[in-house]
Structure 1
Amino acid sequence: MTADDWLRHVIEIVCEGLDFAEAQQWRRRIDAELLRSTGTKTLSVVHDWHSHSLGPMLIEASARWAESAQAQEALRTLHTRASAGEPIAETEWAGALEPALRQIYRHAYPYAQAYTAASADASSYATAHGYAEAEATRFGDSYAEMHTDANARVYAEANAAANAMATAAAFAAGDVHAYAATYPFARIRAIVLACAGDDAARLSTMWNRVGAGLSDSLARADCH
């Protein structure tokens, strides 16, 4: 991967999240910033983006999740320190990234859709095996709750563990090539989904905030 691959892939995923007119307008701004910015050759844009845009989004989302914002605040603090030029050890990055990412991936998991599908499948199975309608519905709901909770937990824990280790190493080394290899565009998608929940209007708002935040960070890049 090249130093700019992370940004190219992130730009693509943000454009997919915006409607056509918004994507065109945003892309023009991004292209203008890229013509004059040299900040993408380092991780300064990444740290600035998390500090000023992604971190605040996640802290706000924690209130909607009815969960503590401590993990997201701790990670934002590290990005702020890194943005100021402070070296941060891999162990410290990993210690902040893992709980923050676990929370993000848990809320990015398509719980409602997975629950509905599992409940319908289990209810159909129960009906086919002689259960009365009400019993089949209860069986489906019970199975769906157990099955979906377990899948969401495993999904969050596995993704958080893998991403935290690789990303922590990249951040500690200041290695933009290693960072690009961690598929940051996929984490950005997870952040947006986690912040939006099941609200379609909020999903559009989150993509716009992510895009605007990246544009602002690129504009500040050469000031770091």
Structure 2
Amino acid sequence: MTSPEPHPAFQSSPGAAVPPWLAQVSEVLSDGLGGADAARAWERRVRREVERLDGRVPFRVVHDWYCAAVGPMLAEAGARRGGSVAPQQGVLALHGSALDGGRIDESTWRAALEPELRELFHHAYPYAEAHATAASAAGSYALANGYDAAEAARYGETYAELNTAANVRAHADANALANAAAVAAAYAAADPDAYAATWPSARVRAVVRVHADPRDEQGERAAWARLADGLAACLARADAA
């Protein structure tokens, strides 16, 4: 897989090559912050730390960021839904152990990641939009085939519920299995290039989606800011690899 191009914020940093995972994540966080001033200020903050480290960003920053921002946000989202936060707490514990210097094998990472990622992708699925699209299409089909308006509406709603629920399960299962395997291998090897190849930016977007209602623009911006601030703070306390 081709590595992402460096984020524009780092292109003027000669001699400080940015790890592909950080370039990729920086781009999505900068976009998520919204507002040119906020994004530029955050980019400068991150660029200063990358230059201080001479581009040698240690992989432990990934674990620190999870412990400081990503994991707590996922646990909070799980608690709000009234479900168990055990999957998030399990992964959080592994990141904490790795941050303290513990060596964790690939199978242990994968066993913990699968349930957490399954829940993440389940709740990040755009259910309302998918349900509405399916209901409209099925209702139109019913109208075209002799149903009256009320019958067509009921048909569309029933079809949408069955179809969308099945799609959510399939989406969550497939993404959890694929991501858990790839991310577990990257974590176990502490391999920044392998981690970049798992496209962490996609999971960042999913974290924001489950933590903040997409209809709440202020809450969504706050979620992006929390992730961005957390990453910058982790870089600031890192020592060069």
TM-score (normalised: structure 1): 0.94
Report the counterpart of residue 9 of structure 2 in structure 1.
Answer: none
Q: Indicate the percent of aligned positions where both proteins have the same amino acid.
A: 46
Helix, strand or coil at the partner of 1:211? helix
2:201 to 185, 189, 192: 185
Q: Which moved more, 1:61-70 or 1:165-174?
A: 61-70
Q: Is contact 2:106-2:184 (8 Å) kept?
A: yes
Report the counterpart of residue 73 of structure 2 in structure 1.
Answer: 57
* Greater relative CO, 1 or 2 (CA 8 Å, sep 6+): 1
Instruction: Please give the residue correspondences for 1:26-105 in structure 2 after superposition, counting only pairs within 5 Å.
Output: 26-37=42-53, 41-105=57-121
Provide the C-alpha distance between the structure 2 equivalents of 1:178 and 1:15, rounded to a whole number of angstroms. Answer: 22
CA-to-partner distance for each residue in 1:81-135, whole Å, 9 max, x for gaps? 1011100011110011110011111111111100111111111111111111111
Structure 1 residue ranges (4+ consecutive) displaced by more than 6 angstroms after TM superposition: none
Q: Is contact 1:55-1:76 (8 Å) kept?
A: yes
**Does residue 201 of the first structure (1) align with residue 218 of the second (2)?**
yes
Pairwise CA RMSD of aligned residues? 1.7
TM-score (normalised: structure 2): 0.88
Provide the C-alpha distance between the structure 2 equivalents of 1:143 and 1:55, rounded to a whole number of angstroms. Answer: 36
Q: Which runs of 5+ in 1 are unaligned?
A: none
Helix, strand or coil at the partner of 1:73? helix
Query: Which amino acid counterpart does residue 161 of structure 1 have in structure 2?
Result: L
Provide the C-alpha distance between the structure 2 equivalents of 1:221 and 1:117, rounded to a whole number of angstroms. Answer: 47
Report the counterpart of residue 131 of structure 2 in structure 1.
Answer: 115
Provide the C-alpha distance between the structure 2 equivalents of 1:38 and 1:76, rounded to a whole number of angstroms. Answer: 29
Provide the C-alpha distance between the structure 1 equivalents of 2:55 and 2:67, rounded to a whole number of angstroms. Answer: 15
Q: Is contact 1:47-1:79 (8 Å) kept?
A: yes
Q: Cα gap change, 1:40/1:145 in structure 2, threshold over 3 Å: closer, same or farther?
A: farther
Q: Is contact 1:48-1:83 (8 Å) kept?
A: yes
Which has the larger helix fraction?
Answer: 1
